[in-house]
Chains A and B, each alone.
Chain A
Amino acid sequence: MVEPLQLQAAAWALTTSLELALFVQLVRRKLQRIYPLFFAYLVSVIFQSAAVAFLYRNANLDKVTVWKIAWGTQALVVILRSLALLELNRTILSRYAGIWALSRRLFLCVAVGVIAYDLALSKGAWQWLIMNGIRGLELAMAAVIVTMLIFARYYRVPINQYQRALAVGFCLYSSFYVINYSLLEKVVQQYAVLWNFLGLFAFIASLLVWISAANRYAASEEVAVPPAIPAELYGKLSSEVNRRLYLLNQHLIQLLHLGDRRQ
């Protein structure tokens, strides 16, 4: 029977191979120019894999150094992932100035709300503050991605296949991280090795989604931006459209009263 640690080592090897494959795909398709922060994030992940391999080969290092290296690389990866996510949102929405300005405020509210809720669970214990802070950040990232996608869907903002794949990869990984960490913290600490191994699968799935999208990426996927109208015109038309919507609603309410009065 295969030991869990052997399985984990195999999963790590697979993850690193996939990271390198994605790196090659991004360079080959010149996507590092369009999404430089995502590329930087990928480089940081590869760097983290190298750092972890170094830590495993040097078992004589003291625990504090190991802790510092491990969490230092993790902090770098999380920060770069947040920046890559912001880059993705900006790339999708910034072509529409009004929508982008509104969505930025919304994203900020969602992110601050989620992180604050998660940090409140630490109850002032600093050792949990860092861990919960990262979990809060991951959850905030997932929430911001979903908000962005709902926003884009509501306003019919076009999203190409590659951007879609990036969003799916980020969201799946972050959501699974939160579930994984929350269960590990309270329920399955005794199965930490197995649980970490399962956690790697979420990242492997994200890498596969990204590699597949990068492989299919075509520059022609870029969409045309609609012509702009003056803000004053939007204001006037928007309020009139709202008025008409309100009146249509009143129509319906009248019909409803027709039903009510029969009783």
Chain B
Amino acid sequence: MSLPIILLILFALLLVGLLAWALRPPTRQIRPALDVFEALSQSRHCSRMSHILQVLQPEDTEYLRESGQVALMQSLRQQRRRIALTYLDQLQEEFETLLEISRALAVMSPQVVGMQEMERWKLSVAFAMNCAYLRWRLRLGLQPFSGFTLLSNMATDIARQLDTATTRIAQAAVQGAGHSALGHENIDGL
């Protein structure tokens, strides 16, 4: 049997596997329209990024080693890593909520932009991979690095950009809700 035929058979088997996967019940339910607009103004865990970066700094606990309390230092670092993991869970939750919102928007829209949907899909794959990798590294224990100040500044900058993006989404959502309620007027003022 030639390779192309084997590939064909494997593809058919893969389709049966994907069929079984696609038929599993979804873990989350779709949000109603009003719920979507409400959710857009919530969940901004990323603004706490600089605090998380701070707790992961070994310098923050190094004084305990110098005072001979190594066990306490290790315990403290372990607790802080746990906090960072919880933060990561919340970040992922925020990301998934945004994905849910974008899906709900696509379902409600009469026109869906393929490129934006593809871009979102790529972002979600990248995020999932980064998240898994980071979780794995956090469990192993993070060590100090030299450019903390720079990174902290970057974090603050991104948090600010995120806030701006969130505000614009909320404004668009509010105006869009008003637009839907009032009829079909222009929304150029967004």
Contacts and interface: CB of A to CB of B under 8 A. Distances in A.
A102 interface: yes
Contact of B108 (A182, A227, A236, A250): A227
Interface string B13-29: 10110110011001011
Contacts of B179: 230, 233
Nearest to A143: B15
Nearest to B24: A153
A233 B171 CA distance: 11
B9 A239 contact: no
A254 B158 contact: yes
A88 to B, nearest CB: 14
B124 to A, nearest CB: 7
Contacts of B49: 251, 254
Interface stretch (A12-20, A21-29, A52-60, A171-179): A171-179
Interface stretch (A61-69, A76-84, A240-248): A240-248
Q: Bin the interface of chain A by size.
A: 35 or more
Contacts of B52: 255
Interface residues of B, number: 87
Nearest to B114: A102
A256 B134 contact: yes
A262 interface: yes
A212 B99 CA distance: 36
A251 B168 CA distance: 20
A241 B105 contact: yes
A260 to B, nearest CB: 8
Contact of B134 (A152, A157, A252): A252
B129 to A, nearest CB: 9
Interface in B101-128: 101-114, 116-117, 119-120, 123-124, 126-127
Given A186-B5, A242-B120, A248 B145 contact: no
Nearest to A261: B145
Give the most central of B151, B169, B184: most A CB within 10 Å. B169
A178 B12 contact: yes
Given A149-B18, A183-B9, 20 more contacts: A97-B110, A102-B117, A146-B22, A158-B30, A179-B12, A182-B9, A228-B108, A230-B109, A230-B179, A234-B106, A234-B112, A239-B116, A245-B95, A245-B123, A247-B46, A248-B91, A252-B130, A255-B52, A256-B134, A259-B137
Interface of B: 1-2, 4-5, 8-9, 11-13, 15-16, 18-19, 22-23, 26, 28-30, 32-33, 40, 46, 49, 52-53, 56, 84, 88, 91, 94-95, 98-114, 116-117, 119-120, 123-124, 126-127, 130-131, 133-134, 137-138, 142-147, 151, 154-155, 158, 161-162, 165-166, 168-169, 172-173, 176, 179-180, 184, 187, 190
Interface of A: 96-99, 101-102, 105, 117-118, 120-121, 135, 139, 142-143, 145-146, 149-150, 152-158, 164, 167-168, 171-172, 175-176, 178-179, 182-183, 185-187, 226-263
